[in-house]
Structure 1
Amino acid sequence: MKLKPIGTISLLFIMLLFVTKANAQSFPNYYLIPKPESMETQDGIFSLGKNTIVNNNLGKEANAAIAELKRMSSLCSQSATKPGSIIFKNETKPLLEGGYKLSVKKDQIIISANTEEGALNAVSTIKQLTGAPLFLTKVVALEVPCVTITDNPRFQWRGMHFDVSRHFFDLPYLRKTIDRMAYFKLNKLHLHLTDDEGWRIEIKKYPELTQKGAWRTYSRHDSVCLTLAKDNPDYELPKKHFKVINGVKLYGGFYTQEEMKGLIKYAQDRGVEIIPEIDMPGHMMAATKLMPWLTSSGQAAFGKTFSEPLCPCKETTFEFAENVFSEIAALFPSQYIHLGADEVEKTSWEKSPECAELMKKEGIKGVEELQSYFVHRMEKFLNSKGKKMIGWDEILEGGISPTATLMYWRAWVPQAPKMAAEKGNYMIMTPGEYCYFDAQQDDNSLQKVYSFDPLNYNLTEDDKKFVSGIQGNVWTEYISTENRYEYMVYPRMLALAENAWSNSSKDWNDFENRFIGQLPLLDAMHINYRFPGLRGFSTKSAFVDKAELKVINPVSAFKVRYTTDGSNPTASSQLMPAKIDITQSAQFKVAAFSSTGRHGDVYTIDYQQQNYLEPVGNTEGMKNGLKFSYYPGLYKSVKEIKETDRDKQDITKGIEIPVANTAGSFATKHTGYFYAPETGVYTFFLRSDDGSVLKIGGNTLVDNDGFHTATEKTAQIALKKGCHPFELLFIEGGGGYTLQLQYESPSGVKQSVKAENFYN
């Protein structure tokens, strides 16, 4: 949704003080994200002004951090009344790479580190301690509360991925992204520079890759964005990314090598390493449209599932690839280069005479091994340039080199991390279920990211040492603007940052408290974050005699407003009272508003007055479990499920799919009876990826149909004690599935459905 610009400085400070007062509890009072390893607070503040003295006893390792402190002091309009000093010194006691110690006293700050990254991380903590004033245009001085911190990172790889191919994002915004990453101690920026939709980095050997390959007429993704933009301007295609070429208005953009050198230096000065990805052999249509001879078929087109890949059986392919990567290796100082190697359409390889000949010559048994041949050969070339290769987890297929780094993304292949560790391959954990921030958010998304355990893949203690870290990924097919990017990424990036850095045990309530405390900072940074979700209701609510609507607002500084006439709430709509008594069917629309006029998601709550649904009987004569049916095939909606396609039947204890090897796309049906142990209103929570529909008593209760990422929908129904007809339909379109059902009883207890709830 479109969020309004930040308001005045005075409103910002009011909000900051209000939130601070409302949450003034025990550690952490200072809302630091990621949470430090240890922190002790003291009374008093250190005043950072124009005349603050910096002493460097750490040497060149402190230079970048000192430059950051100078940028901070340049914001101050006055000198401190009593000029204090900031001292950098070498830490003699062991610290992990990037670790630091920070001591803030009234007259002195001591930063102890033994690496440049550690010194920069200490400054990032100081930035968070200063709060929102750091991001205002003019401040008298920056106040740093007195504190003692010892801090070490959990993982060395703390990354964010940014797809700049599907939709282009310019250098100023990438610099802003780097600043924000450093602020939250993220240290790897993985740039997805090429894909079917656009080639974004200059290759001097092949200038047409950016002269032509960086520009396009509207793609199918653009068309979707333009349709969505009718209701949400955040989907518009920015005018600044259009250019008229030969009389045709085209969308796109690219980075010259000189521009990228400047960005790399900017990132290095802030402790962020840029890792380039040139995705091969698939996702190459931006190049193959210009050079169709690179494919096996001699065409640049889409195959059965993905675009025609490069042909791994032609020497001209390797000549092209090596020329490209020679320039990439010379340009990027990172020791890593990402080859991609995911989602490869291999159909044309199976039909290629060149591939048949190569497979015979090399003893290659199938196309999976043919992909491995390409990956291994490219890895040897990258190694010859002094680089290490990263690939998406498909590089496991057909065999993997022990020196390659695996980027695990396919959550539906849970054995992949174990396989990689047993082969001695280091890996970066980025499973789509937790780490794909282009997936649509709901009110559970932030906690989902926070709950992610990258070591929970049946790994032994020896296996775990091969987990280098975690990364959040942002694919931009449907993210066309900076505003939309921020709405999708924030606040999930904060949960990822904490997961990547903090070694302390997880406490969701503690993290949520700190995140809410950070909201004034996000406002001051002009970040278009998603508001914390409103709670305490079901969007499809039921009652028999009467009900109470009590909206739980997790941010006390925000005001909840509502309407009952079908229109969306505005900043002048009625304030939501502590409760509203419901005695007849009605519809409410509610949203949270900040003091600056921004608002969060609009929730539509439909109240329906019902009679208790009569049961069909009790459990006498029935058996526990549900009848289960399995339908292999692609269905776009549960309405398309055909009984003639049924391949398997079984009895399940609950909502489970007892099929050892499911098809890539399939549908399921669970039928039987739900036993309501008491009379009252029940709330059902249905979460699925892809579509699902829950029916009780023959009527649709929850409609979560269609292709989508893991999304939860809720609904209420008034049930009499006893057995009620139950049906749950589900479709999986490909790429891993989620199917979860919970309910809240009339007693107010939320739980997952269990075997004792179901009969047949």
Structure 2
Amino acid sequence: MQRFLLVFSVLFSSLFHTQTRLNIIPYPQKVEFQNGEFNVNDQTAVKGVETSFEYQFFLNSLKQQYNLDLSKNKRSSRENAIFMTIDKKINDAVDYEITVDKKLILLKAKNKEGLFHGLQTLLQLIRNSKNGNIPAVKISDTPKFAWRGMHLDVCRHFFTVDEVKQYIDYLAMYKLNTFHWHLTDDQGWRIEIKKYPKLTQIGSKRKESMIGAYVDNTFDGKPYGPYFYTQEQIKEVVKYATERHITIVPEIEMPGHALAALSAYPELACTKGPFEPATKWGVFDDVFCPKDETFKFLENVLDEVITLFPSKYIHIGGDECPKTRWKECAHCQELIKKNNLKDEHGLQSYFIHRIEKYVNSKDRKIIGWDEILEGGLAPNAAVMSWTGIKGGVEAAKSGHFAVMTPGSYCYFDHYQGDPATEPNAFGGFTPLDKVYSYNPIPEELNQDEAKYILGVQANLWTEYILDFKQVQYMIFPRLLALSEVGWGTSDPKNYKEFEGRVINEFKTLDKMGVNYAKSIYNVSGKVISVNNGVAYELSTSQNPNGIRYTLDGTNPTVNSPSYQSPLPVSKSLTIKSAYFENGQLKSAISSQNFTISKSTGKKIILEEQPSENYSFGGAFTLVDGIIGNPRRLGKTWLGFQGKDVVATIDFGQKTSFSEVYFNTLDNKGSWIHFAKSAQIFRSDNGTDFKMIKEIGKDEILSANGKIRLNVGNQNSKYLKIKIENAGIIPAGNPGADSKAWLFVDEIGAN
């Protein structure tokens, strides 16, 4: 029997020795495997500063997660022990070090924050061990980025103190260190300000809420609120986060997104009102008026906010501020003239500069969304780059710090799987692999400029997130990808290996009762170009041999054809697919309709590229055979802000056609407008084009954006279509004076 145990022990030790990766997220910077293993058991002693939060946190975590109470083990020997210590001599480039051998685990860190990060790694090692056996290993680790953030909007939908603490726990588990708390907006004011009690008496509630897709324009008819956090609750949450080495950055929106505040204090607006907290989502014309009493109000609010939050940065919003009211306001126009400002964008810069000067006087700094660049950036301001990477690049090149949070990679209110199988979301398509592929350092920056990139953050806006279970669903597992991107150890080339660690981590989330998205289990489809046509490529995080599909619109069963290679699509049809394991359905059933035309799969060139946030498959999206769903702005639409769509399709040979079609959207609350006009052209050489059809706005409106044009009998090699953007949004519309969005999907020819 002893010989058998000895052989088994050698084999098991050999297994750990040849192991190449640990199930840890985010993955450490340096891992060296050794021989042997350490067993954590009920006799293991834990040595450290017993009065410290970190020491007690570790013991409590072991007790809660594994029913392992090590608090009574007081032995002083260096066997079967876990030592944690602050070592001031540790390399400055190292956050923490863990050494595991057969006798003990030694965790060294240069400060308490590093110690806490090391304990999170150690807890993951224990969670993923077999019977408490941890492989002998040496880990040397440190984060790449100083700002590893996650945002939560509590204005559109409110979450309790306990839920916010849970949110902070998730950040701490995966070594994120910044919680961006979005506390004020048009739909609700969520922080008690003692000097202005009406902010919460009036501004923390609304008469009803928009429900369903935005285009439905329907409401629930139910009063919402009053919901807000008292200052004592704020202090409680700040303390909770600080103990876990997480900085809370509060956001107080200005000068736009101010309806909840103006409802309480209408004298701060350019017009007399009355106002009420918004029941719809979107952007509204009524904003703070830049007059002395407004600045005094905001300074008093900021005084109380700064007292509550010790963070170096105070977020002042600055995004999506329509200039309509300022253009019509005599005071604003006089202010522009008096201060030699160029225009209303200059007035926004004046507003931000004035607020920054006050915040700086309190020994704090401001950070704002990238619109604070309008009219010139305030001297010490940092930029949160959300509309793309351009704002971050501009800030860094001018010597300002920036946090990268582009919507195309970091907006977790976007769909993460097939929109047809997902809960209603704001729009967009940001799956796990796309989050993991993000590099926060823009290629446009040189080495010195890159130093101004503080880090990365993901945002969770909650227009369509009704409860905390859905919060969990939207952030998990994407938060795991974000954590590894922020830590600096992500490698898109090894995504499948990361995906395996994510699936392993699901066991922990299951034990915690987290309602995470299982989208990566579903079969995903990608349209690819094949032989001047298209094919549908299916994939899954599981064994691809388990994919079953149908081509006739019926639901697949275990007896349906097994997927082997991309499915050619030469005619209009519906492909349904699902993943089966051991004869059982293990995924949602994915469905994709194809509408095939003579332009499907052909070469297409766009003169202007879509916005980074709505670029998806690029130009090919317009000829992939998929008609977009106007109720779900997922991966089938391309979005262009302030730009026309000019697309040239090369049929490859002279082709006859008599109809051209495309779809465009109208969703004014999100600044999306129907096209102003469209022109169709033909050519035989790709250089000389002749216009064969033109339509105006009235025809587009009457067709409700679903354009079908009879162009007569044509026969040409090239087809060009120009779809004209609505331009500057006119007064009376959300986002007035800003560039309109143009959304377009499939361009077909028959």
Aligned length: 612
Given candidates 137, 152, 175, the residue that maps to 1:185 is: 175
Asked whether 1:435 is paired with 2:410, we answer yes
Given candidates 531, 554, 561, the residue that maps to 2:541 is: 554
1:19: which partner in 2? Answer: none
SS of the counterpart of 1:215?
A: coil
Contact 1:126–1:144, Cα closer than 8 Å, also in 2 = no
Residue ranges of structure 2 left out of the alignment (5+ in a row): 1-14, 74-78, 419-429, 611-618, 623-637, 655-669, 683-715, 727-738
- Tell me how far 1:106 sits from its aligned partner: 3.3
1:196: which partner in 2? Answer: 186
- Closer, same or farther: CA 356–735 of 1 in aligned 2, 3 Å: closer
Given candidates 211, 215, 237, the residue that maps to 1:263 is: 237
SS of the counterpart of 1:204?
A: coil
Distance (whole Å) between structure 1 residues aligned to residue 440 and residue 743 of structure 2: 18
1:159: which partner in 2? Answer: 149
2:475: which partner in 1? Answer: 489
- Closer, same or farther: CA 588–670 of 1 in aligned 2, 3 Å: closer
Contact 1:548–1:579, Cα closer than 8 Å, also in 2 = no
1:467: which partner in 2? Answer: 453
1:590: which partner in 2? Answer: 577
Distance (whole Å) between structure 1 residues aligned to residue 499 and residue 334 of structure 2: 59
1:88: which partner in 2? Answer: 85
Asked whether 1:72 is paired with 2:61, we answer yes
Given candidates 520, 530, 536, the residue that maps to 1:532 is: 520
Matches within 5 A, 1:93-242: 93-96=90-93, 99-131=95-127, 142-220=132-210, 222-224=211-213
Contact 1:469–1:500, Cα closer than 8 Å, also in 2 = yes
Contact 2:527–2:535, Cα closer than 8 Å, also in 1 = no
- Tell me how far 1:289 sits from its aligned partner: 1.5
SS of the counterpart of 1:289?
A: helix
Asked whether 1:368 is paired with 2:342, we answer no
Asked whether 1:603 is paired with 2:590, we answer yes
Comparing 446-455 with 287-296, greater Cα deviation is found at 446-455
- Tell me how far 1:337 sits from its aligned partner: 0.7
Comparing 388-397 with 142-151, greater Cα deviation is found at 142-151
Structure 2: which amino acid aligns with 1:281? P
- Tell me how far 1:594 sits from its aligned partner: 8.7
Distance (whole Å) between structure 1 residues aligned to residue 338 and residue 223 of structure 2: 48
Distance (whole Å) between structure 2 residues aligned to residue 456 and residue 628 of structure 1: 23
Structure 2: which amino acid aligns with 1:668? V
Distance (whole Å) between structure 2 residues aligned to residue 566 and residue 331 of structure 1: 58
Comparing 112-121 with 43-52, greater Cα deviation is found at 43-52
Structure 1: which amino acid aligns with 2:649? T
Contact 2:285–2:322, Cα closer than 8 Å, also in 1 = yes
Deviations 1:22-41 (A, max 9, x none): x9997653222212111123
Contact 1:39–1:147, Cα closer than 8 Å, also in 2 = yes
- Closer, same or farther: CA 132–505 of 1 in aligned 2, 3 Å: closer
Distance (whole Å) between structure 1 residues aligned to residue 470 and residue 359 of structure 2: 35
Distance (whole Å) between structure 1 residues aligned to residue 503 and residue 264 of structure 2: 50
- Tell me how far 1:383 sits from its aligned partner: 1.6
Distance (whole Å) between structure 1 residues aligned to residue 134 and residue 561 of structure 2: 38
- Closer, same or farther: CA 566–381 of 1 in aligned 2, 3 Å: same
- Tell me how far 1:519 sits from its aligned partner: 2.8
Contact 1:549–1:579, Cα closer than 8 Å, also in 2 = no
- Closer, same or farther: CA 25–555 of 1 in aligned 2, 3 Å: farther
- Closer, same or farther: CA 548–404 of 1 in aligned 2, 3 Å: closer
Given candidates 485, 501, 510, the residue that maps to 2:497 is: 510
- Closer, same or farther: CA 182–423 of 1 in aligned 2, 3 Å: same
Distance (whole Å) between structure 2 residues aligned to residue 613 and residue 323 of structure 1: 64
Distance (whole Å) between structure 1 residues aligned to residue 598 and residue 164 of structure 2: 56
Structure 1: which amino acid aligns with 2:480? L
Asked whether 1:280 is paired with 2:254, we answer yes
Asked whether 1:445 is paired with 2:431, we answer yes
Asked whether 1:316 is paired with 2:312, we answer no
Distance (whole Å) between structure 2 residues aligned to residue 218 and residue 593 of structure 1: 43
Distance (whole Å) between structure 2 residues aligned to residue 732 and residue 184 of structure 1: 43
- Closer, same or farther: CA 83–558 of 1 in aligned 2, 3 Å: farther
Distance (whole Å) between structure 1 residues aligned to residue 32 and residue 745 of structure 2: 42
2:400: which partner in 1? Answer: 425
- Tell me how far 1:390 sits from its aligned partner: 0.7
Distance (whole Å) between structure 2 residues aligned to residue 314 and residue 94 of structure 1: 52
2:666: which partner in 1? Answer: none
Contact 1:200–1:210, Cα closer than 8 Å, also in 2 = yes
Distance (whole Å) between structure 2 residues aligned to residue 309 and residue 415 of structure 1: 27
SS of the counterpart of 2:264?
A: coil
- Closer, same or farther: CA 123–728 of 1 in aligned 2, 3 Å: farther
- Closer, same or farther: CA 441–274 of 1 in aligned 2, 3 Å: same
Q: Calculate the TM-score normalised by the size of structure 2.
A: 0.70
Contact 1:542–1:607, Cα closer than 8 Å, also in 2 = no
Deviations 1:516-561 (A, max 9, x none): 3333233333232232165586689999xxx999964323599767
Comparing 42-51 with 490-499, greater Cα deviation is found at 42-51
Distance (whole Å) between structure 1 residues aligned to residue 606 and residue 410 of structure 2: 34
1:29: which partner in 2? Answer: 21
- Closer, same or farther: CA 399–577 of 1 in aligned 2, 3 Å: same
Distance (whole Å) between structure 1 residues aligned to residue 326 and residue 284 of structure 2: 13
- Tell me how far 1:579 sits from its aligned partner: 4.7
SS of the counterpart of 1:321?
A: helix
Distance (whole Å) between structure 1 residues aligned to residue 140 and residue 97 of structure 2: 5
Structure with more relative contact order (C-alpha pairs < 8 Å, separation 6 or more):
1
Structure 1: which amino acid aligns with 2:208? Y
Contact 2:48–2:84, Cα closer than 8 Å, also in 1 = yes
- Closer, same or farther: CA 356–51 of 1 in aligned 2, 3 Å: same
- Closer, same or farther: CA 228–39 of 1 in aligned 2, 3 Å: farther
Contact 1:312–1:371, Cα closer than 8 Å, also in 2 = no
Comparing 309-318 with 266-275, greater Cα deviation is found at 309-318
- Tell me how far 1:674 sits from its aligned partner: 3.6
- Tell me how far 1:101 sits from its aligned partner: 0.6
Contact 2:25–2:484, Cα closer than 8 Å, also in 1 = yes
1:341: which partner in 2? Answer: 318
Comparing 599-608 with 388-397, greater Cα deviation is found at 599-608
SS of the counterpart of 2:224?
A: strand
Structure 1: which amino acid aligns with 2:262? T
- Tell me how far 1:211 sits from its aligned partner: 2.3
SS of the counterpart of 2:152?
A: strand
Contact 2:477–2:516, Cα closer than 8 Å, also in 1 = no
Structure 2: which amino acid aligns with 1:260? I
Distance (whole Å) between structure 2 residues aligned to residue 329 and residue 614 of structure 1: 58
Deviations 1:268-310 (A, max 9, x none): 1212111100111100101111222111122248999832454
Contact 2:258–2:287, Cα closer than 8 Å, also in 1 = yes
SS of the counterpart of 1:87?
A: strand
- Tell me how far 1:363 sits from its aligned partner: 2.5
Q: Calculate the TM-score normalised by the size of structure 1.
A: 0.69
Deviations 1:213-236 (A, max 9, x none): 11112233x35489899xxxxxx9
- Closer, same or farther: CA 371–579 of 1 in aligned 2, 3 Å: closer
SS of the counterpart of 2:298?
A: helix
Contact 1:309–1:346, Cα closer than 8 Å, also in 2 = no
Structure 2: which amino acid aligns with 1:386? D
2:705: which partner in 1? Answer: none
Contact 1:627–1:672, Cα closer than 8 Å, also in 2 = no
Deviations 1:388-414 (A, max 9, x none): 111111111112223111111121xx5
- Tell me how far 1:585 sits from its aligned partner: 10
- Tell me how far 1:482 sits from its aligned partner: 2.5
Distance (whole Å) between structure 1 residues aligned to residue 605 and residue 215 of structure 2: 44
- Closer, same or farther: CA 102–206 of 1 in aligned 2, 3 Å: same
Contact 1:129–1:144, Cα closer than 8 Å, also in 2 = yes
Distance (whole Å) between structure 2 residues aligned to residue 343 and residue 26 of structure 1: 54
Structure 1: which amino acid aligns with 2:479? M
Asked whether 1:673 is paired with 2:651, we answer yes
- Closer, same or farther: CA 271–210 of 1 in aligned 2, 3 Å: same
